[in-house]
Amino acid sequence: MTTLEQRLAEVRHRILQACEAAGRDPASVGLLAVSKLQPAQAVRQAWQAGQLAFGENYVQEALDKMAELADLRGATEWHLIGPLQSNKTRAVAEAFDWVHSVDRLKIAQRLSDQRPAQLPPLNVCLQVNISGEASKSGLPPHELAQVAAAVATLPRLRLRGLMSIPEPAQGLQAQQAPHRALRLLLQDLNQRGLALDTLSMGMSDDLEAAVAEGSTMVRVGTALFGARPPGAA
Ligand SMILES: *Cc1c(COP(=O)(O)O)cnc(C)c1O
C-alpha cells in the first residue's frame, strides 16, 4: 500500500526532476497540497510528513477543517483555490492566507475591506481564463492589465501573481502552451510596473509542463491524497 508519506515523496521527486530538466532551483517551486474533499485527518498526516501549505475549494468545508485542526493553525498555510462568491468574502478574509481565484475587482475590494487589521495583508492571485472556455471562471486575458493595476492598489491585499486551470491536454508540448501563455501575461504585467512573483499553475497531471514554464506553485491533489470521493469536483 502506498502511504501519503510515499506519495508526498514521489510528488516532491517529480518537482525536483522537472526543476533539473528546466535548469531551475527547486526552492523556487512551492507545493500546495490540494486537500478539498479530503478529511482533516489527511491534512494532519500530510502536515506530519512535512507539508505546510494546503489548498481548498469550498469555503465552508475549509473552515470546518481549520477548526478541527486549530492546534496546527500557526504552523499551516491555507489557500483558497476555488470560486469565491461575494457573500463568502468576509469568512475568507478572516481565515485564509492566500486566495488564488480572484477573478473580479469587486471580490478583491471586498477582501481588502474585510481583511482584519491584526492580520498581514491577504496574498492574492488573479485567476485567468487561459484556455478561453466559456464555462470556466477566470478573467479574460484582455481585461487582466486593468484589473491587476486596480487590485495592486488595495491596501489590505498583496497581489502576488496569476493562477490558471487550463483545459486538460496530453503530452508535454500541448500542456506547456497554456502555462507559457500565463507566464507571458505575468511578464507583461511586470513590465508595466507590477512586481509579481507567483505563477500558480500545474496540477497532478501537468506539473512537469508547468514547472518547465516557470510555475512557482504547483497545486496537487490526486497524486498526493489519491482519488477524491465519488461525485466530487
Ligand atoms: C482540484 C484542484 C486541483 C488539484 O487537482 P489534481 O488533479 O487532483 O491534482 C488544483 N487546482 C484547482 C483549482 C483545483 O480545483
Virtual torsion, Cα 44, 100, 93, 54, nearest 10 deg: 0
Does residue 2 form part of some domain?
no
The pLDDT value recorded for residue 134 is 67
What is the tally of structural domains in the chain? 1
| Residue range 161-194, pLDDT digits in tens | 999 999 999 999 999 999 999 999 999 999 999 9
CATH code of the domain containing 170 = 3.20.20.10
Query: Which residues does residue 128 pair with via DSSP β-bridges, in sequence order?
Result: 139
Does residue 231 form part of some domain?
no
Ligand 1 pocket test target in 15, 84, 203, 224 with most atoms within 8 Å of CB: 203
> Does the CB atom of residue 32 touch ligand 1 within 6 A?
no
> Does the CB atom of residue 221 touch ligand 1 within 6 A?
yes
| Residue range 200-231, pLDDT digits in tens | 999 999 999 999 999 999 999 999 999 887 75
Which residue range forms the structural domain that includes residue 129?
A: 37-194
Count of CA atoms in the C-beta half-sphere (13 A) of 27: 0
Report the chain's terminal Cα–Cα distance, integer Å.
25
> Does the CB atom of residue 202 touch ligand 1 within 6 A?
no
| Residue range 98-134, pLDDT digits in tens | 999 999 999 999 999 999 999 999 999 999 999 887 6
Does residue 163 form part of some domain?
yes
Ligand 1 centroid to Cα of residue 203, in Å, is: 6
- Residue 232 predicted with pLDDT over 70: no
> Does the CB atom of residue 219 touch ligand 1 within 6 A?
yes
Q: Are strands 30-34 and 198-200 parallel, antiparallel or unpaired?
A: unpaired
Does residue 48 form part of some domain?
yes
Ligand 1 centroid to Cα of residue 32, in Å, is: 10
> Does the CB atom of residue 204 touch ligand 1 within 6 A?
yes
Does residue 217 form part of some domain?
no
Does residue 152 form part of some domain?
yes
Does residue 1 form part of some domain?
no
> Does the CB atom of residue 34 touch ligand 1 within 6 A?
yes
Ligand 1 atom nearest the C-alpha of 32 is: 10
